[in-house]
Amino acid sequence: MQAIGISRGVVVRIVVFAVLAIFVQGRLAALGAGGDSRPNFIVIIGDDISWNDFGCYGHPTIRTPNVDRMAERGLRFSRAFLTASSCSPSRCSIITGRYPHNTGAAELHSALPANQVAFPKLLKDAGYYTAQAGKWHFGDMGRPGGPALAAFDRTGGSTNDGGGPGGEGRWVQWLKERDKDKPFFMWFAAHDAHRGWDDKVVGEAYGPDEVVVPPFLVDDEATRKDLAAYYNEISRMDHYVGLVFKELRRQGVADNTMVIVMADNGRPFPRCKTRVYDSGMQTSLVIHWPEGIGSGGAGAVCESLVSSIDIAPTILELASVKVPASVQGVSFAEMLTDPKASVRRYVFSEHNWHDYEAHERQVRTERYMYVRNMRPELANQGPADSVNSSSHASLLKMQRAGRLTEAQKDVFMAPRDGEELFDVVKDPLQLHNLAMDGEHGVVLGRLRKVLDRWQRETADTVPDDLTGDRFGRNSGKVLEGVDWQRGTMPGSELDASRTTAKGPAR
């Protein structure tokens, strides 16, 4: 070194400068052109997974180490709720920040109208790179020119497009191939754990002896095998969550990327999916974002109410994008640094056609749930895929034998109560209706008025010609000899898809 006149100290300084230059260059690439420091976002949506079927929510046997690690280092919400326990209505609601009857796509497989604004489109217009991979299912499957398809720079990765059986196969690829000069938003949606099950297990398969059988199902071998197959698919989705984090760390963007894990509705079993009870409507909501949550809030649990329509305004606010008047949700951004903050007193949910005629509305506080059923003469057994299950067959067998418990009888009950009131603290499974006991008249009256106001302000309706059953309620098979067609969708008579009223939140 001395021979060419450069001291050892100068060499060290040159090396250090070079290392710093490489680091800064990589950091700027991660942040986007011009050092755009806005956060990145990834929303990961499981399919038909109940909130308490993750380890971090207390399940004793389902292995979800990656989501659990998110909760340990991030924020877990214990009172997060969907607006519908039905696949496409729930997803349309999340992506617009609007209630199902206000999206114009309140029923399963109904198309998201062109007048709806998908919030990723607003991010795209503000300079974000946006991509969707995995399950689509915005009713119209993202028709060309539709509001969902227009929201993303890149789409694909379903089970028929390289996504594998669970629809997660393209998640990491899309991250690797993103535009590195922009902050990004990714909508990663799994097909796991939707029926039907497959044998592509990641890790060790669950055995029937590892299953926890809910009290409204029959504890027999058939039900246990059914639940074990469901567990396998949850763990598979969790595996891909881990791969996403591994790629984020490799790119050096994990700290400034807000990752959300949730689901679109409850598990695909009787008295869960499509139901307005917590078994259908409550969702996991785990958020990991080191730079936004901070070390002080890591591992915290937020017990305040949030709705799935609150995700859109929260992300838009954090991205410094104006929240449009069409969004009916409320931003919970303040909860990320103050988990004890509260933005809602009420959350609302609805049950419209999903294989079967239905019209239920629900309002929930931290203590009580009030349900109004406008088709009480009909049973509320769950969707056709659940009715086709071995778990439902076991319930039918016990029904014929006259051996159903009170919790199990609820699956077949008809007529049902037109009004239900539950103390969700004392009765977390919502098994004991308090609407007629006379001791809760004040609460019942108050929540009736709240629900009346919400329906009135958001232009909800109860059409006489609701869409009727397309499947047998006990067989789950397509009804033969029935000229099935859609009826009038709730809210359409009042043009609810154009209203911007939010209804009461507090």
pLDDT classification of 26: cutoffs 50, 70, 90 = very low
Residue 358 region, left (φ>0) first, then alpha (ψ -120 to 50), else beta? beta
The most distant pair of C-alpha atoms in the chain lies apart, rounded to whole Å, by 98
Task: State yes or no: pLDDT of 14 exceeds 70.
Answer: no
Of residues 156 and 260, more confidence is placed in: 260
Task: State yes or no: pLDDT of 429 exceeds 70.
Answer: yes
Provide the pLDDT for residue 97: 98
pLDDT in tens, 81-124: 999 999 999 999 999 999 999 999 999 999 899 899 999 999 99
Task: State yes or no: pLDDT of 11 exceeds 80.
Answer: no
Task: State yes or no: pLDDT of 437 exceeds 60.
Answer: yes
Task: State yes or no: pLDDT of 80 exceeds 90.
Answer: yes
Provide the pLDDT for residue 366: 96
Task: State yes or no: pLDDT of 33 exceeds 60.
Answer: no
Please name each of the domains of the chain with its CATH number.
Answer: 40-343 (3.40.720.10), 350-498 (no CATH)
pLDDT classification of 264: cutoffs 50, 70, 90 = very high
Provide the pLDDT for residue 296: 62
Residue 5 identity (one-letter amino acid): G
- DSSP character string of 252-269: T-STTEEEEEEESSS-SS
Provide the pLDDT for residue 183: 98
Provide the pLDDT for residue 83: 98
pLDDT classification of 228: cutoffs 50, 70, 90 = very high
Provide the pLDDT for residue 140: 55
Q: What percentage of the chain exceeds 90 in pLDDT? A: 85
Task: State yes or no: pLDDT of 13 exceeds 50.
Answer: no
What's the whole-number mean pLDDT along residues 411-422? 96
CA pair distance 357, 21, nearest whole angstrom: 63
Provide the pLDDT for residue 52: 96
What's the whole-number mean pLDDT along residues 280-308? 91
Answer yes or no: are the C-beta atoms of 292 and 339 closer than 8 Å: no
- Which among 120, 106, 52 is positioned nearest to 327, based on CA atoms? 120
Q: In whole numbers, what is the pLDDT of the chain averaged over residues?
A: 91
Provide the pLDDT for residue 288: 97
Provide the pLDDT for residue 36: 83
- Which among 236, 295, 337 is positioned nearest to 72, based on CA atoms? 295
pTM for the model stands at 0.91
pLDDT in tens, 133-187: 999 877 554 455 578 888 999 999 888 889 999 999 999 999 999 999 999 999 9
CA 144 from chain centre, in angstroms, equals 25
Report which DSSP code applies to 427: -
CA pair distance 318, 41, nearest whole angstrom: 10
What's the whole-number mean pLDDT along residues 486-492? 97
Provide the pLDDT for residue 298: 81
Provide the pLDDT for residue 430: 97
β-sheet bridge partners, residue 31: none
